Amino acid sequence: PDQYRVFGNPIEHSRSPDIHHIFANKSQQSINYQKQLVEIDGFSNAIAKFIHQGGKGANITVPFKEQALTLADELTERATLAGAVNTLTFKNGKIFGDNTDGEGLVQDLITNQVILNESRVLLLGAGGAARGVLLPLLAQNPRSIVIANRTVSKADKICQHFADNRISASSYIDLAKQDFDLIINATSASLSGDLPPIPTSIISQNVVCYDMVYGKDETPFLKWAKEHGAMKVVDGLGMLVGQAAVSFEVWRGVTPEVQPVIDKLRASLK
């Protein structure tokens, strides 16, 4: 079987090997996918060694996505604009870098019947996770995307980088006067059980709230959004499976079915 791997630190809890093996079984593809813990200063060596062993592709996770970008010989536009790579392909002696996170998010939003065309999107956070999803979101023709961040200068910087008049930056306080159809939490606040300082006035019965984080318990953001009357809340499990599916497609040319995998992972969280 062709060899694939996910590299990160930490890596113990990665579900990627399970996800890719299910995709492969269902689509009659012969692959072997393992996870590998990489020392903080050992990333490029680990990749070189894997290529030498005949590895066909790799997923890259925290904290190596920016390093993976510099390692690639060729990049897709979505990886360049994201400033990060989560998918490497080793072919013809070259390293190809891609980023499937944003497409994974968009596909999961579509699966959840969230309308993106002409919608007013609020993106919370201005770190790697936020930046990584902007180009695929823009491709869905939203009316506007407001990036809110505690450190507004970081949101401003992303706006300058994308130079698209649909994107603007905001402080959290200034959100109170605005209306949104979709709010995406791309901050890492949920990971530490925190809630970004969002004004409650922006939650209405017409708004969908999405958290890129998922877990056994509902995230603080989604719990808060529900309590304040949001129309619908969705966590990031589908995005995780979605980005894996797009990586699988990049490597194998086959589009795997995501729903059975999402259901299986959901059941295992309980």
Q: For residues 24 and 175, which CB has a smaller minimum distance to ligand ATR in the complex?
A: 175
CB of 112 vs ligand ATR, minimal distance in Å = 21
Whole-angstrom distance, CA of residue 7 vs CA of residue 237: 20
Beta bridge pairs of residue 121: 145, 182
Q: Does the annotation count 65 as an active-site position?
A: yes
Give the separation between CA 228 and CA 239, rounded to whole angstroms. 24
Q: Which of 187, 219, 243, 247 binds ligand ATR (CB under 6 A)?
A: 187
Q: Is residue 103 within 8 Å of residue 246, measured between CB atoms?
A: yes
Of the candidate residues 15, 21, 120, 150, the single one contacting ligand ATR (CB under 6 A): 150
Is 127 labelled a binding residue? yes
Verify binding: residue 149, ligand ATR, rule CB under 6 A. yes
What single-letter amino acid sits at 55? Answer: G
163: Cβ contacts below 8 Å, ≥ 6 apart: none
Q: Which stretch binds ligand ATR (CB under 6 A): 10-18, 146-154, 227-235, 259-267?
A: 146-154
Q: Which amino acid is at 117?
A: N
Is 243 a known ligand-binding residue? yes
- 195-231: burial string, b at 16+ Cβ within 10 Å, e else: ebebeeebbeeebbbbbbbbeeebbbbbebbeebebe
Minimum CB distance to ligand ATR, residue 108 (Å): 17
Determine, following the binding rule CB under 6 A, whether residue 196 of this chain makes contact with ligand ATR: yes
Q: Which of the residues 56, 65, 223, 264 is marked catalytic?
A: 65
Pick out residues in 102-131 that bind ligand ATR (CB under 6 A).
125-130
Annotated catalytic residues are 65
Residues in touch with ligand ATR (CB under 6 A): 125-130, 149-151, 154, 187-189, 194, 196
